[in-house]
Structure 1
């Protein structure tokens, strides 16, 4: 297949594990262009199991762990097949699927750093009849890097402007920034929690998966004592490169702070929103003081209260969605894993050592080859 005309498909389920994002991507002169997209929901019971495991609130024996890996893989395969049906795209038109998997643990420091994503790529390749590239983070970590964030290289390709200092802010379960220097330099890191804590607290106290438009947070008041205690966490003072996840910032971490006991749920939500906004603003002020524009992607772009607060803290910088530049903020991450799959098949590195701290550029991802199967077998499983 001529790569210039090939399609790639990217899959991501982020820290919030709210859904699987699937992006069908074409490449013109190496630049990705989103052709179609699909958001595939997780069954609530499975999502709860994944989050409980990711937060260290439960342990699995090896048999249960292995079954979960396969079960998650089936849902990723379903997301691929659904997008192919919706877009009218035959499987043979897809050069490869780039699957990030579902992160269950990310420990980039210590004697033996590791990162772990579930979602058996062989299941995706078998059921969809498409080659799969997966396990993108471990090669970078083996080279001494954090394994994250992996989007800055694509951010630079799509959004850097010579002579202009800019920041791309991804508001997923965890917030991360890509600093695009006026001189062409690129660096970035995870700033701390974004939607992950907000969603978890909202689910616990309102039974809703997320705080729609930030209305729950807007109904409360920020508690300065709790905010100061949260911002005192050692992670915020660490210099980059750095990355984090739900295994650090979760409700048990929040519950360690005694100030919580005297506050209403709405006041806690307001304080968590302020924590996200303040930690992002501090990181940008420290690492990108000359930035003229902050371009936002990820689910947090739809939280009106969070965007308003970020705009206040980051003024006079211009704050906008990446949609202003015709880049869908909801599917930029999925697009990135389509791009990373293409990089792997072309034998090109996918990491930026200046971002992750790796010893050098590395090929990211392992290739799982598709078998020759009949199209009639590519159907949605009962796992949906």
Structure 2
């Protein structure tokens, strides 16, 4: 029997909470409705401040942020249900990724930290909530991310054609779906997605992003600056690998642009756009040389200039949005965490060791029961 789920996702860009209503059965995942609840600017600022100064974390602020975000996630779920004319009793479970504060898989003691208290989500909504998806994979020796490739494989695999799914959020990641069904999917974070472009736009335009990439399109790529950026060691690391604001952040951007002080801001934006497109293209060429089709999801799919650069760099390969396969690009990640919640409740593994590097498949997440 089909069941209804809600997926909740807040990504690296911190622009809002995606809430997605999904119908799932054993053979099908159907997206029914979705909203994005804006992240209050003051709350976004507090989270960014916490991420920017991890050595000076105030535990009282951390605990309060966890609680406040939990309430915000719950409100987003309830708003979605109200809009969809559904009752909490209609929903089997919520899958909540939470908000990543820090992700450090490559250290003596690997760990990851997401906040957005799932106890509060379950209490406010009355709906069983599945959360804390990353840590079990890390406990099994994996990177804890990316986790969405398992859903990409279930939803977008096309036997006979090697497909690459490119998710461009704050960071960018790819999922390689082999043409041969017996071959395991692979995937990894390629590097920055929208994060550096957004930071630069905020500084110079006073806006959180470069709408449709129009500003970047007005500039010229600084080839020397691009070469310096692409020389960052992350790009040459072999997968499995993941990254985030811990590496690609305002300080990283400042260090790069300080070396080219006379480059006009629009040219820097064009170069940052090219960095995202080129690093994705290079990753596909190296790790999926037989790729026959590229599908783009995430907020970056709405950046027209970035999509143009992706299409130019990937030619003659076809590049399209996941909307051509029935899932709007902005709702793929939220749908994925609804799907992962279903996997957890059915006692099925949700990670792909061929992607994360875990020693074996594991059931992801912790279950927080709804009201009795």
Q: What is the TM-score when the length of structure 2 is the normalising length? A: 0.97
1:104 to 98, 101, 119: 101
Q: Which residue of structure 1 lines up, in the alignment, with residue 84 of structure 2? A: 87
Does residue 179 (structure 1) correspond to residue 180 (structure 2)? The answer is: no
Q: Provide the secondary structure at the position in 1 that maps to 2:82.
A: helix
Indicate the residue corresponding to 2:194 in structure 1: 195
Q: Provide runs of 4+ in structure 1 moved above 6 Å.
A: none
* Paired position in structure 2 for 1:315: 315
1:233 corresponds in structure 2 to: 232
Q: Deviations over 1:125-171 (max 9, x none)?
A: 11000111000000000111001111111111111111111100001
Query: What secondary structure does 1:167 align onto?
Result: strand
Structure 1 residue corresponding to 2:40, chosen from 8, 24, 43: 43
- Tell me by how many angstroms 1:57 deviates: 7.3
Task: Report the counterpart of residue 329 of structure 1 in structure 2.
Answer: 329
1:382 is aligned to none
Does the CA-based 8 Å contact 1:25-1:33 persist in structure 2? Answer: yes
Contact 2:172 2:193 in 1 (8 A): yes
2:221 and 2:271 map into 1 onto residues whose CA distance is: 4
Q: In structure 2, what is the equivalent of residue 245 of structure 1?
A: 244
1:144 aligns with 2:141: yes
Aligned to 2:208: 209
2:110 corresponds to which residue? Answer: 113
Distance in 1 between residues matched to 2:117 and 2:260, nearest whole Å: 39
User: CA 1:82–1:203 in 2, change beyond 3 Å: closer, same or farther?
Assistant: same
**Residue correspondence of structure 1 range 336-347 to structure 2 within 5 A:** 336-347=336-347
How far does residue 204 in structure 1 lie from its aligned partner after superposition?
1.4
Query: Which ranges in structure 1 are unaligned for 5 or more consecutive residues?
Result: 373-384
User: Is this contact kept in 2: 1:54–1:103, CA < 8 A?
Assistant: no
Name 2:222's counterpart in structure 1: 223
SS at match of 1:296: strand
Query: How many angstroms does 1:45 deviate by?
Result: 1.4
Deviation at 1:54, TM superposition (A): 2.5
SS in 1 for 2:339: helix
Q: Number of aligned pairs? A: 369
Question: Hey, what does 2:4 align to over in structure 1?
Answer: 7
1:52, distance to aligned residue in structure 2 (A): 2.9
Aligned to 1:297: 297
1:73 aligns with 2:104: no
Does structure 1 retain, via aligned residues, the 8 Å contact 2:161–2:292? Answer: yes
Task: Report the Cα distance in structure 2 between the residues aligned to 1:188 and 1:315, rounded to whole angstroms.
Answer: 21
TM-score of the aligned structures, taking structure 1 as reference length: 0.94
- Determine if contact 1:173/1:193 at 8 Å carries over to the other structure: yes
Supply the distance in 2 between the matched residues of 1:114 and 1:56 (Cα, whole angstroms).
17
Q: Unaligned 5+ residue runs, structure 2? A: none
Partners of 1:191 and 1:236 within 8 A in 2: yes
| 8 A contact 1:56–1:247 mirrored in 2 | no
Superposed displacement of residue 326, structure 1: 1.1
Corresponding residue of 2:267: 267
Contact residue 146 and residue 243 of structure 1 kept, 8 A:
yes
Q: CA RMSD in A?
A: 1.2
- Cα 1:309–1:58 change in 2 (3 A) is farther
Residue equivalent to 1:20: 17
What SS class does the counterpart of residue 261 from structure 1 fall into?
coil
State the alpha-carbon separation in 1 of the partners of residues 311 and 49 from structure 2: 33
Question: 1:42, 1:91 → 2: CA distance?
Answer: 23
Retained in 1: the 8 A contact 2:3–2:25? no
Partner of 2:351: 351
Q: 1:60 and 2:61 equivalent?
A: no
Establish whether residue 33 from structure 1 lines up as the match of residue 30 from structure 2. Answer: yes
Separation in structure 1 between the aligned mates of residue 83 and residue 56 of structure 2, nearest angstrom? 37
SS class of match (2:239):
coil
